[in-house]
Each structure stands twice: as C-alpha cells, then as structure tokens.
Amino acid sequence: MKKHSFLPGFCCGFLWLCACAAGGPGATVPGALRSADADPAPTDVSGNANDASQDTATQTSETPRYTYAIFLGDTHFEDPGDSSDIHGQAMTQTFASLPYDLAGIFVAGDVVYTLPYATYDEYLADPNDRFDIAQRIFESWPAPVWPALGNHDYDFSNGRPMDLAPALFKHHFGTDPYYAVDLGTWKVLVLDNFKGPTLDLSSPEYDYDSGSLGAEQTAWLESQLSDGRPAVVMLHFPLFIVPGLPEVLARHTDTIRLVISGHSHAWINLSDNYSVPHLVVGGVTFDADSFLVLQLDNVLKTWRILNWADFHWGSAYSLPYSGD
C-alpha cells in the first residue's frame, strides 16, 4: 500500500502558519512586452480587485478580457487503476465541463509517486510505467499541461540520479526543469526548487527538507521578473521551506501577482506572511475536486480564484466545482 506524507507535510505547513499568525525553458520565453494600460488594482487574498475601475475598464480588440488557467498539485500517479489514476481520469470530465477556454493546466509537482527504476532505459522499456500513466491523463485534459518537479518525482531519498526525473519530464511532457509559459498579457514561471545547495551533499547548506534554486535559476528568475509583465510563480515547495526565495520575490512585487505551491497536501493561505500572495494547493491524490480555477484580468492585471469558496482549508479536499 502506498504511504503518503500527508500528515508530516500538513503539520509542517499548518504549524508554521499558526506560528506566523500568532505574531511572528519546453515553453519559450514570451516575446514583446505588452505595456500596462493602468496600474494594477489592489487585490484581496481571494484575488478580487478592490477598485471601481474594474467595472469601467475597457479591453483591446486583440486580447480577451480574461485568461483562465487551472492549478493543482500532487497527483502522485503510481499504478494503473489506483486512486490517483481514477482521480486523474475524473478530472478529464470535470475540466471539459468547465465553461472556460482554458489556457493551461499547471501541476505544482509530485506528478508521480517515487521512481521504481534507476535508469532512463528501464522506463522506456516499460510501456505502462507511472510517467506513461501521467502522460496519458495529461493528454486527455482539455488544455496544455505544465508540470513542476517535486521531491517524489526526483525520488532522491532512494538514491535516484538527479538527472533522471528531468530527463523523464522532457521525454513525456516536453518541459525543462524550470521555464516560462506565455499566456499573452500574463506569464507563469515554473520553478525547480531542487537546483541549489540544499541538495548538494558537499555544501554546508545541505538540508534534505529544504529547497533552493541555485545561482543560475535565480538569475533567470530575476530576469523574467524584470520585464514588467504580470506573473504567477509556481513551484513544489511552499516558500517557508525555500530559504532565500521570499527575499528574491520581495524585490519584484511590481510584477509578481501570486505564488502557488504544493507539497503540503493541504489548502493553506500564506498571503499575510509574504510580500506577495502565496497559496498552497490541496492534493489531487486525495481528491479529484482539489484544484483551483484562476481568472487573470488582462486589463487590470489582477486575478481572481473562481472556486475559492469550495476549498476545505487545512485539508487536501475541496467541494465539487461550484462556479463563480
């Protein structure tokens, strides 16, 4: 039987949240910069614009007013016919029934649950391994799927080579470890929080339970965030276990609109604890309804989560999609 890290992940995120509340390339880089017509309107923690101009703003003929995307995490695909497989198939129907033209579906890591093989060739020889399951399900979803790498995808705890998971992601999903997805006015920056010194055994910063980007990815991220376009950032680990990243993001509050992560298997709103809004999504491996629908305003450069009221905060679960 598969054992999940729900309780440790949830407890870590929940206890940290309580403590803070108590006081404390794949996808190509977008081309020409679209100039903003107005300053971003203030946005509350659910993404609702607090500005009367939302009612009077005009849209251009070239760009639709809104762009729609889905975010979810921790699918944990493992075996044919298991609960994760069943949930993934159920989401095919759910996503197809949504009344939106989806620009993309973003998966915040842990696409699969551990790596049974130690070599790339072993995966290619198995026509029904867990990456094949993930690929079949992703291809059945009604929009391009953009995944991030998670700790169970790397499975470094079992001594798997660090280049194995990126090679399998490239083969099955066409993505690099970190990359930018062009959504027109907006972009999504997908990060790999396993690239830095926290996973370098020779580094004094080594910490199996923490994440880091490394110098090269950090420089890339800073460059992406300096072009003036509104961005959503997605990675697997929540910010409270990626030392140094909150400070990087704090330098770009003019372009970062939202940070989304997975790993903790629980809906957690950390927006009051950082310089930018930050949400941890629930876990699809536990619930096929555990996803969010994000509406991106291409005029005001604000966002809104359409099924905010459905989330069961502090758990992996959500009510079935109820619409906006």
- Strands 186-190 and 179-183: what pairing? antiparallel
What pLDDT does 52 receive?
Answer: 32
**Cross-strand partners of 212:** 194
Q: Alpha-carbon torsion 310, 138, 245, 232, what sign?
A: negative
pLDDT at 3 over 70: no
What confidence score (pLDDT) does residue 4 get? 36
Token pair for 303: 């966002």
pLDDT at 32: 24
Give all domains of the chain, ordered by start, each with its CATH number.
Answer: 6-21+64-180+263-310 (3.60.21.40)
Q: What is the pLDDT of residue 283?
A: 96
Structure tokens at 38: 């107005």
Q: How confident is the model at residue 200 (pLDDT cuts 50, 70, 90)?
A: confident
Selected residue with higher pLDDT from 59 and 165: 165
User: How do residues 225-268 score in pLDDT, each as one tens digit?
Assistant: 999 999 999 999 999 999 999 999 999 999 999 999 999 999 99
Residue 156 has pLDDT above 60, yes or no: yes
DSSP 236: S
Phi and psi at 53, nearest 5°, equal: -65, -15
Strands 102-107 and 145-147: parallel
Q: Report residue 61's pLDDT band, with 50, 70 and 90 as the boundaries.
A: low
State the first-to-last Cα distance of the chain, in angstroms, to the nearest integer.
38
Name the more confident of 50 and 121: 121
Q: Which residues, other chains included, contact 228 with Cβ-Cβ below 8 Å and sequence gap of 6+?
A: 33, 35, 36, 254, 255
